[in-house]
Amino acid sequence: MTSPVITRPAEPGESRPDAATDPRRQPRRARGLRRSWWGYLLLLAVGLVFLIPLYMLLTTSFKTNGEIYTWPMKWLPSELTFDNVREAWRIAPFGDFLKNSLIVTVVGATLKVLLAIFAAYAFAFLPFPGKKWLFVIMLGALMVPGHVTLLVNYITMGNMGLINTYAGLILPGVASAFGTFLLRQHFMSLPGEVFEAAEVDGCGHLRRLLSFTLPMSIPAVATVALVAVIDEWNNFVWPLIITNSVNMRTLPIGLMYLKSNDGLTNWGVLMSGTLIVVLPMLLVFLCAQRYIVSGLTGAAAGSGR
Amino acid sequence: MTSRGLDSATRASDRPAHRARRRRGYALFALFAFPNLALIAVFAYWPILANLYLSLTNWDFISPRPLFVGLTNYSSMLASPSFHKVLWVSAVWVVVVVGISLLLGVLLALLFSRRLPGTSVVTGIVFTPHVVSGAAIAVVWLFIFDPNYGLARVVFEALGADSPNWTTDADWALPALLIVSIWKGVGFVSIVYLAGIQGLPTDVLEAAKLDGAGPVQTFLRVMLPLLSPTTFFLVITQTIGAFQAFDLIAVMTSGGPASATTTLSWFIYEQAFMRSNVGLSAAAGTVMFLLLMLITALQFRFVEKKVHY
């Protein structure tokens, strides 16, 4: 910020005569580089601190045991093997884990987004006595620590006979205070003339929601959906409690099952199991980084301003 | 509300129609919003009340009915040294994780705000652990902490020491978990701070520079006070998150060795789901709830005086 960093290379045609005629030009550039070299170094170091564990995960998954259990550490595997993945699949029913995770994530996130869309529309456009208070009460749920609700929710699910079922896995997590809040704020920022025109044309609320509100809110809905997908996929403590048979476990719990059933820690097998858990969310993140970052940090940007 | 223009023309002639339409609006609101609100009531608010009741009982999930025992669970818990240790471990966890995450996070954000080429790639990498399963991260770090074949041994050998038995040594288990927890969370903190820094009014920073403030002074005297709303938000959300940390503990240490990593969150789980002490778990849950309410209220009180908007 303080030093003139070279972010945009000048056009060769205009910069070269400049550099030749202006003797200060060249040193200043060098000074910029010299001044920020530690910045690049720090940036590189920070990147490595977060990349190396991921690199270990990826390479160890495909390393042979001979190359994992050796010292000094072999940074580059000389041959790749799929034995670890096969072994992980043999020890633990990863097919079931994957299926359960997919069902819980797709159904859970879809329901969550639908509930949030309808609730947000209601809070934004429909009348109700005491609506403001209902909204405040709904937002208050954000302050309730989820960990404190586990025990009673488990008992509630038990009373409903939903322990070890998909419904039991999904139901307590589908209500969304944050998603509703985010979407309502977005809906209220949409141009009101469109809705007035729609009403004059005799459009009902459902039509107004489907044909006007949603098409104008795709980024906001995508944000809520992606955050929901990540939450559902990574959820750990609730699936751990509510399921009790191996074939109903989701991937994160299945990974723990693999860890306790692979004999003495077999790192190659464990890493390949971990990779199966991590990879889908890594891909989602790579494809939709912007939405996810803005969604997860969005609450911060709005706070206090 | 949205139909005022249309109504004023028709209001005088057909009031009943207007009222009917409003009632339709109410019904539609109920249809749209009540499923969400009902689920929130059942799965977020009801548990707090029911938990309070259960904390006054003894129950093992199996016997037909919880037995009312008054405040026994609280008194025995507060009198037991092992529960004091649980509170101590939780306090260390929250203070260290929140403190270091915020410190490193703001420094990272400063680095990122220089916008050197390559910054966006690094911010993406740093944010990644936040979107990855905590259980998976725990397993990766168990491998890193392997005293014989893990990455930690590389670091310790460079320092001329042996890598400790991180997760099975009572002195090292908590530090190991704290490191992983900070590693997982600091990226999020830094991105939130980065958004805060990018939103700072540039004229104020320019003025500080013109007045001869050095970079350190500008950061401490100008930027940090201006960032206090961000800091406030982060302290609250990170504290709530740190109190509930669970997956790392479950996968890496299961609260051990010798309950060295038993936080309040692990205690709540262990008592209910491994030992079937429903009453005790509920009492610990109520303690967590009250602690979080208290901390949040204190922070709000503090903020009224200190935060510069």
Grouping H, G, I as helix, E, B as strand and the rest as coil, residue B58 is strand
* Residue A141 neighbours by CB under 8 Å, 6+ apart: A175, A177, B40, B44, B45
CB atoms A195 and B114 under 8 Å: no
- Which CATH number do you get for residue A117? 1.10.3720.10
CB atoms A151 and B281 under 8 Å: yes
CB atoms B268 and A150 under 8 Å: yes
Q: Are residues A144 and A18 in the same domain?
A: no
Contact B125, A51 (CB under 8 A): yes
pLDDT averaged over 10-residue windows placed end to end, chain B, 309 residues:
46 70 91 96 96 96 93 95 97 98 97 91 94 96 93 92 90 96 96 91 87 87 90 90 95 92 97 96 97 89 66
Contact B101, B185 (CB under 8 A): yes
Contact B279, B53 (CB under 8 A): no
Residues B190, B179, B143: CA angle, nearest 5 degrees: 120
Q: Does B300 touch chain A (CB under 8 A)?
A: no
Taking the CB of residue A97, how many other CB atoms lie within 10 A of it? 26
CB atoms A196 and B5 under 8 Å: yes
CB atoms A297 and B111 under 8 Å: no
What is the Cα–Cα distance from B254 to A200, expressed in whole angstroms? 62
Domain end, chosen from A81, A111, A142, is at A81
Q: Per DSSP, what are the bridge partners of residue A37?
A: none
Task: Kindly report the three-state secondary structure assignment for every residue of A2-24.
Answer: CCCCCCCCCCHHHHHHHHHHCCC
Domain end, chosen from A81, A99, A132, is at A81
What is the Cα–Cα distance from A253 to A266, expressed in whole angstroms? 18
Residue A2 has pLDDT above 80, yes or no: no
Q: Are residues A277 and A199 in the same domain?
A: yes
In a domain, A294, yes or no: yes
CB atoms B33 and A122 under 8 Å: yes
Q: In terms of CA atoms, which chain B residue is nearest residue A193?
A: B2
Q: What is the pLDDT of residue A196?
A: 81
Q: Are residues A61 and A139 in the same domain?
A: no
Q: Which domain holds residue A31?
A: 12-81
CATH numbers and ranges of domains, chain B: 4-54 (no CATH), 72-306 (1.10.3720.10)
Report, as an integer, the average pLDDT of A47-76.
92
Q: What is the pLDDT of residue A201?
A: 82
Residue of A142 and A50 predicted with greater confidence: A50
How much is the pTM? 0.88
Q: pLDDT digit string (tens) for A73-92?
A: 888 898 899 999 999 999 99
Q: What is the pLDDT of residue A30?
A: 56
Q: In terms of CA atoms, which chain A residue is nearest residue B244?
A: A147
Q: In the structure encoding, which two tokens stand for residue B306, read together?
A: 């200190």
Q: Which residue has the tokens 């139909």?
A: B3
Q: Are residues A148 and A67 in the same domain?
A: no
CB atoms A256 and B136 under 8 Å: no
In a domain, A4, yes or no: no
Q: Find chain A residues with C-beta within 8 A of B40's C-beta.
A: 138, 141, 175, 177
Q: In the structure encoding, which two tokens stand for residue A292, read together?
A: 């996810």
Q: Which residue has the tokens 């920073």?
A: B205
Residues B307, B182, A154: CA angle, nearest 5 degrees: 95
CB atoms A205 and B199 under 8 Å: no
Q: Are residues A22 and A151 in the same domain?
A: no
φ, ψ of residue B68 to 5 degrees: the values are -70, 125
Q: Does A265 touch chain B (CB under 8 A)?
A: yes
What is the Cα–Cα distance from A181 to A122, expressed in whole angstroms? 11
In a domain, A7, yes or no: no
Q: Are residues A32 and A144 in the same domain?
A: no
Radius of gyration of chain B (CA): 26
Q: pLDDT digit string (tens) for A184-196?
A: 999 999 888 888 8
Closest alpha carbon to B182 in B72, B281, B100: B100
Q: pLDDT digit string (tens) for A130-153?
A: 999 999 999 999 888 999 999 999
Q: Kind and range of the H or E element at B251?
A: helix B247-252
CB atoms B199 and A305 under 8 Å: yes
Q: Are residues A182 and A152 in the same domain?
A: yes
Closest alpha carbon to A123 in A136, A106, A141, A140: A136
Question: In angstroms, what CA-CA distances link A199 with A97, A190, A206, A207, B20?
Answer: 48, 15, 11, 10, 17
Long-range contacts of A95-98 (CB under 8 A, 24+ apart): A96/A246, A96/A247, A96/A248, A96/A249, A96/A254, A97/A249, A97/A250, A97/A251, A97/A253, A97/A254, A98/A251, A98/A276
Interface test with A, best of B1, B26, B40 (most A CBs within 10 A): B40
Domain end, chosen from A48, A81, A114, is at A81
How many structural domains is chain A composed of? 2
In a domain, A123, yes or no: yes
Q: Does B129 touch chain A (CB under 8 A)?
A: yes
Q: Does A68 touch chain B (CB under 8 A)?
A: yes
Q: What is the pLDDT of residue B296?
A: 86
CB atoms B135 and A147 under 8 Å: no
Question: In angstroms, what CA-CA distances link B69 with A158, B73, B74, B81, B282?
Answer: 23, 8, 10, 21, 13
Contact A226, A237 (CB under 8 A): no
Q: Are residues A47 and A125 in the same domain?
A: no
Report, as an integer, the average pLDDT of A265-290.
93
CB atoms A143 and B148 under 8 Å: no
Q: Are residues A68 and A117 in the same domain?
A: no
- Between positions 81 and 110 of A, the ones with CB within 8 A of B are none
Q: pLDDT digit string (tens) for A229-257?
A: 999 999 999 999 999 999 999 999 999 99
Q: Are residues A32 and A112 in the same domain?
A: no
In a domain, A42, yes or no: yes
Q: ipTM of the assembly? A: 0.90
Q: In terms of CA atoms, which chain A residue is nearest residue B104?
A: A46
Q: Least CB-CB distance to B36: which of A119, A149, A151? A: A119
Report, as an integer, the average pLDDT of A262-273.
87
Report, as an integer, the average pLDDT of A287-298.
79
Q: Least CB-CB distance to B119: which of A43, A51, A252? A: A43
What is the Cα–Cα distance from A267 to A275, expressed in whole angstroms? 12
Report, as an integer, the average pLDDT of A94-103.
97
Q: Least CB-CB distance to B32: which of A119, A289, A296? A: A119
In a domain, A215, yes or no: yes
Confidence band of A211 (pLDDT split at 50, 70, 90): confident
Q: Are residues A21 and A52 in the same domain?
A: yes
Residue A114 has pLDDT above 60, yes or no: yes
Q: Does B119 touch chain A (CB under 8 A)?
A: yes
Q: Are residues A127 and A241 in the same domain?
A: yes
CB atoms A230 and B286 under 8 Å: no
In a domain, A191, yes or no: yes
Q: Which residue has the tokens 């410190």?
A: B103
Q: Which residue has the tokens 């960990």?
A: A147
What is the Cα–Cα distance from B183 to B236, expressed in whole angstroms? 19
Q: Does B155 touch chain A (CB under 8 A)?
A: no
